[in-house]
Amino acid sequence: MNTATSTITFADRWDHFLTRWGVNRMGRRVEPGLYAIGNPTKDSPVFVTANYTLSFDALRSALARMAAYILVLDTEGINVWCAAGKGTFGTDELAHRIEATALRDVVSHRIVILPQLGAPGVAAHEVKKRTSFKVEYGPVRAADLPEYLKHHEATPEMRRVRFTLRDRLAVIPVEIVGGLLPMLIAAAVAYLMGGWVSSLAVLAAILAGVALFPILLPWLPTRDFSAKGFFLGALVALPFVLLSLQGNADAAWWYRAGRAIAPLLIWPPVTAFLALNFTGSTTFTSRSGVRREIFAYVPVMAWMFAIGIALMLGLPIIRTVGG
* CA pair distance 310, 262, nearest whole angstrom: 9
Q: What is the pLDDT of residues 50-96, one digit of tens each?
A: 999 999 999 999 998 899 999 999 999 998 988 888 889 999 999 99
- State the average pLDDT for the chain: 89
pLDDT of residue 184: 92
Q: What is the pLDDT of residues 163-215, one digit of tens each?
A: 888 888 888 998 888 888 889 998 998 888 778 888 999 999 999 999 999 99
Of the candidates 164, 159, 91, the one whose C-alpha atom is nearest the C-alpha of residue 129 is 91
Residues in the chain: 323
Tally of CB atoms within 10 A around 129:
10
pLDDT of residue 49: 96
Average pLDDT over residues 1-8: 88
Domain regions of the chain by residue span: 2-161, 166-321
Phi then psi for 46, rounded to 5 degrees? Answer: -120, 120
**Angle, helices 287-321/225-247, rounded to nearest 10 degrees:** 20
50 CA to centre of own chain: 16
Positions of E strands within the chain: 2-4, 33-37, 46-50, 68-73, 111-114, 134-137
**Class of the CATH-defined domain 2-161:** alpha beta
pLDDT of residue 159: 87
- Evaluate whether 280 touches 82 at the Cβ level (below 8 Å): yes
Q: pTM of the prediction? A: 0.79
pLDDT of residue 293: 87
pLDDT of residue 28: 85
Residue 284's pLDDT band (cuts 50, 70, 90): low
* CA pair distance 18, 39, nearest whole angstrom: 31
